[in-house]
Structure 1
Amino acid sequence: MSKQQYFFLILILGSLTALGPFSIDMYLPGFPAIAQDLHTTAARVALSLSSFFIGISAGQLLYGPLLDRFGRKKPLYVGLVLYIVASAGCATAQSIDGLIALRFVQAIGSCAAGVASVAMVRDLFPVKDSAKVFALLMLVVGLSPMLAPTVGSYVTEAFGWPSVFITLGVMGGLLLAACILWLPDTYTPDTSLSLKPLPILTNFWGVLREPQFYTYTFAGAMAFCGLFAYVADSPLVFMDLFHVSTKTYGWIFAFLSIGLIGSSQVNSVLLRHFQSEQLIVAALVCQVLTGLVFLLLTLNGWIGLSGTIALLFVFLCCLGISNPNTSALSLAPFTRNAGSASALLGAIRMTMGALASVGVSVLSNHTAVPMVGIMAGTSGLALLILLVGRRQIAEQVSVPVGQLAEPVH
């Protein structure tokens, strides 16, 4: 493979990987405008984010078996076409209920891109290069929450919120064309693979029964709920409560993303001196304390815009350390069922995150209390699950540093 081919494949796979995160973050600055045009509230608009998270959860479990049974490209094509159609539907939505439903369909489509890109890395590149390739893909994913809201804020202000979904649809169309023209066939379909529900569910149940998996998966998922609560409620908190402009909100979101992304890189340095287990406990304790202080200050009205940004930054830094370590330790016991374990890990995390974002919408009282309360409460539950669950692990499988999982948006 020439350097030019290598670069082009990385560009296509990285763009596929970033489609989901861009779809989550790019329309956030448009929440107030969507609420006004569709005659609803920003809290109800946030349910369209929750439905997207639920769609990603379902899609991860759906596409894994399909990509093995029918090859990589056919399910990818179907998913991208579905994404383009759903994006056009979102741009023309006339009601909030319609937007919520279409965002679910859009998520199912975008999930094909993310799952297929990961599978194709394993097909296209030798094992010795896969870690480097995944690191490049994760860099793209890490940049997307910094770029997407900022781009979305300018697009929304200049052309209106429907133009965000038109932009996303065009991105999906360009990716579909690139995949048809330049992405090679990388996998021979396994026609012997059963798509019947019982064998698939039996496989997932075998993964879920592993104590190390359920301990670190559910602890990590509960900790990660704080991120989903923040993403779902940040448009209301910053634009409605603190009255920042659409563009300013995009820059604040980008700045806060640096905490999550930067700390995940610092985590690699810390692992030279500490074990993953130690870092998880320290990060969760810090996350709980930050959440409780944040909640106390918010309940009493003792915190302003600068303090809110500062505490959110610290909270996201804690997540940047706990997330890759809980992911790695969740998957460490598996060799044969690593794909199923990875899909189940992602589905559980997204489902819990969707519930957290729904909770923010249901409890909305035009203050930051629902967001901060969920952040503090789920962090406390994460620490409790970890401390109790570790007692059930007879012999923990540790993770070599080079195999540490990267953070998932």
Structure 2
Amino acid sequence: MSSSLLRYAVVLGLLSAIGPFAIDMYLPALPAIGQDLGASTTAVQMSLMAFFISVGLGQLIYGPLADMWGRKRPLYFGLGVFALASIGCALAPNVEMLIFFRFLQGLGACAGMVVPRAIVRDLHTGNEAARLMSMLMLVFSISPILAPLAGSAVTAVASWRAVFWIVMVAAILGMVLLALALDETRPAKDRVESSVGSALAGYWQLLRDRHFMGLVFIGAFGISSFFAYLANSSFVLIDHYGLTPTQYSLAFSVNAISFFGFSQLNGKLGSMFGLAKVMRVAVTGFAASVVILFLLFLSGIDALAVLIIVLFIGNGFLGLVIPTSAVLALDEHGEIAGTASALMGTIQMVTGAVVMAVVGLFLDGTALPMVAGIAACGVIAFTLAQVTLGRRGRFAEVPAE
């Protein structure tokens, strides 16, 4: 890969990671937040769900703006909103205000999630796009690997409020990086035909595209399984299994390493077998792993080692599913890549928020409800893959170029 593409991977990965960093860094502090603000577990989790909902809905705005205004201006605006909302989170006097500012923070963070995918599509398609997307995710992996450790360290020496001051500084540094290291990838001539009307027409076109929607929902339920783990793992691993915040961070990082490590094989495997075949095999492996995990816990095996090991395997397969589904979904929509990326991101985040809410209804202090939610997502993703990739169509038999 050329030095310019490596630069794009690093810059886009870091910009994409700022929002998730605000999630992962405060995960170890969720129990402490509840104690400090006198809030219930459900109320504290609402601050997480509010973030996901706003990220999902906000992308519907940022995507068309990225097509109309270019890629950089929406990123500047989003990072600015994120920084200001982070200050509000740090100063929140109660859980209601924390939820409100987390919602605003999500509206800023979603720019860094939708625009980088559009930039990848601006630069490449097919296996080259898969390679760049995988490299972006490798840089992005700094968040779930290092952020929980950083969060537990910050919470130990300061308080959970310090986490939000740190992510505010990260957003400011992101704006500096955006100004110095990222070129505009959407030429002015391509923006002329983009408007609110064309965005609405684009959304309608995408919603009627069964292949696009099928691929988007495969990725949505795949990533929702990770969201189910993300929302509940701190309570399960810390309160149920008795881990310290630092031990929890290490356990969380193990599965993140699996996810992002295996994602680096996407480009090579896609060149050898075709992206569609890679996806079919990966989603099958993921579904099989999480169903086995659910059956083990349903039978009465409630062991932390089993949870971590089987999720390590399942998340490895998931690391192949997520970027591949995104590349295949965007491949034929380059002219409205921002709009397509926005709809994809919205569906993924809203689906994730719904899954987290449903799993939250069944919390009983054990790992079983969380595992059941993860397994359900795996089964749905597998079923969608059989329908979308198994039928005769544009992705059924033709390897990616």
Specify the TM-score bucket, using the shorter chain as the normaliser.
0.7 to 0.9
By how many angstroms is 1:272 displaced? Answer: 4.9
For 2:290 and 2:129, the matched residues in 1 are separated by: 37
For 2:44 and 2:341, the matched residues in 1 are separated by: 30
Offset from partner CA, 1:53-100 (integer Å, 9 cap, x none)? 222212222112223433444433322221111101111222223222
By how many angstroms is 1:227 displaced? Answer: 0.9
SS of equivalent to 1:337 = helix
By how many angstroms is 1:164 displaced? Answer: 0.4
By how many angstroms is 1:394 displaced? Answer: 4.0
**AA of the residue aligned to 1:159:** A
1:41–1:243 CA distance, 2 compared to 1 (3 A)? farther
Q: Residue 297 of structure 2 corresponds to which residue in structure 1?
A: 298
Q: Residue 164 of structure 2 corresponds to which residue in structure 1?
A: 165
Q: Residue 226 of structure 1 corresponds to which residue in structure 2?
A: 225
Q: Residue 353 of structure 2 corresponds to which residue in structure 1?
A: 354
1:301–1:158 CA distance, 2 compared to 1 (3 A)? farther
For 2:336 and 2:181, the matched residues in 1 are separated by: 31
**AA of the residue aligned to 2:104:** V
Q: Is the 8 A contact 2:203 2:339 kept in 1?
A: yes
Q: Is the 8 A contact 2:240 2:366 kept in 1?
A: yes
Range moving further from structure 2, 324-333 or 346-355:
324-333
Q: Is the 8 A contact 1:14 1:137 kept in 2?
A: yes
Q: Is the 8 A contact 2:389 2:396 kept in 1?
A: no
Map 1:102-121; keep pairs closer than 5 Å: 102-117=101-116
By how many angstroms is 1:182 displaced? Answer: 7.0
For 2:286 and 2:7, the matched residues in 1 are separated by: 40
Q: Is the 8 A contact 1:53 1:353 kept in 2?
A: yes
Q: Is the 8 A contact 2:75 2:111 kept in 1?
A: yes
Offset from partner CA, 1:234-272 (integer Å, 9 cap, x none)? 111111111101111111111111110122223444445
**AA of the residue aligned to 1:292:** V
SS of equivalent to 1:150 = helix
For 1:367 and 1:17, the matched residues in 2 are separated by: 32
**AA of the residue aligned to 1:168:** V
Map 1:177-188; keep pairs closer than 5 Å: 177-179=176-178
1:342–1:397 CA distance, 2 compared to 1 (3 A)? farther
Map 1:359-398; keep pairs closer than 5 Å: 359-390=358-389, 393-396=392-395
**AA of the residue aligned to 1:19:** I
1:44–1:370 CA distance, 2 compared to 1 (3 A)? farther
**AA of the residue aligned to 2:220:** A
For 1:178 and 1:167, the matched residues in 2 are separated by: 16
Tell me the number of residue pairs that the alignment of Structure 1 and Structure 2 aligns: 397
Q: Is the 8 A contact 1:294 1:372 kept in 2?
A: yes
Map 1:279-290; keep pairs closer than 5 Å: 279-290=278-289
Range moving further from structure 2, 297-306 or 327-336:
327-336
SS of equivalent to 2:110 = helix
1:194–1:72 CA distance, 2 compared to 1 (3 A)? closer
For 2:162 and 2:272, the matched residues in 1 are separated by: 48
By how many angstroms is 1:161 displaced? Answer: 0.6
Offset from partner CA, 1:290-331 (integer Å, 9 cap, x none)? 222222332343121111111211221121122233223323
Q: Is the 8 A contact 1:284 1:383 kept in 2?
A: yes
Give the aligned CA root-mean-square deviation in angstroms. 3.2
SS of equivalent to 1:336 = helix
The answer to whether structure 1 residue 341 and structure 2 residue 329 are counterparts is: no
**AA of the residue aligned to 2:255:** L
Range moving further from structure 2, 379-388 or 125-134:
125-134
SS of equivalent to 1:244 = coil
**AA of the residue aligned to 2:372:** G
The answer to whether structure 1 residue 46 and structure 2 residue 45 are counterparts is: yes
For 1:132 and 1:226, the matched residues in 2 are separated by: 24
By how many angstroms is 1:116 displaced? Answer: 4.3
Q: Residue 147 of structure 2 corresponds to which residue in structure 1?
A: 148
Offset from partner CA, 1:382-406 (integer Å, 9 cap, x none)? 222222344665443777657xxxx
**AA of the residue aligned to 1:95:** N
By how many angstroms is 1:155 displaced? Answer: 0.8
1:301–1:339 CA distance, 2 compared to 1 (3 A)? same
Q: Where does the alignment leave 5 or more consecutive residues of structure 1 unmatched?
A: 403-409
SS of equivalent to 1:302 = coil
Q: Is the 8 A contact 1:284 1:318 kept in 2?
A: yes
Q: Where does the alignment leave 5 or more consecutive residues of structure 2 unmatched?
A: none
1:138–1:226 CA distance, 2 compared to 1 (3 A)? closer
Q: Is the 8 A contact 1:57 1:348 kept in 2?
A: yes
SS of equivalent to 1:301 = coil
**AA of the residue aligned to 1:283:** A
Q: Is the 8 A contact 2:130 2:267 kept in 1?
A: no
Q: Is the 8 A contact 1:225 1:378 kept in 2?
A: yes
**AA of the residue aligned to 1:139:** L
Q: Is the 8 A contact 2:134 2:267 kept in 1?
A: no
Q: Is the 8 A contact 1:92 1:162 kept in 2?
A: yes
Normalised TM-score (structure 1) = 0.85
Q: Residue 405 of structure 1 corresponds to which residue in structure 2?
A: none
Q: Is the 8 A contact 2:86 2:165 kept in 1?
A: yes
SS of equivalent to 2:231 = helix
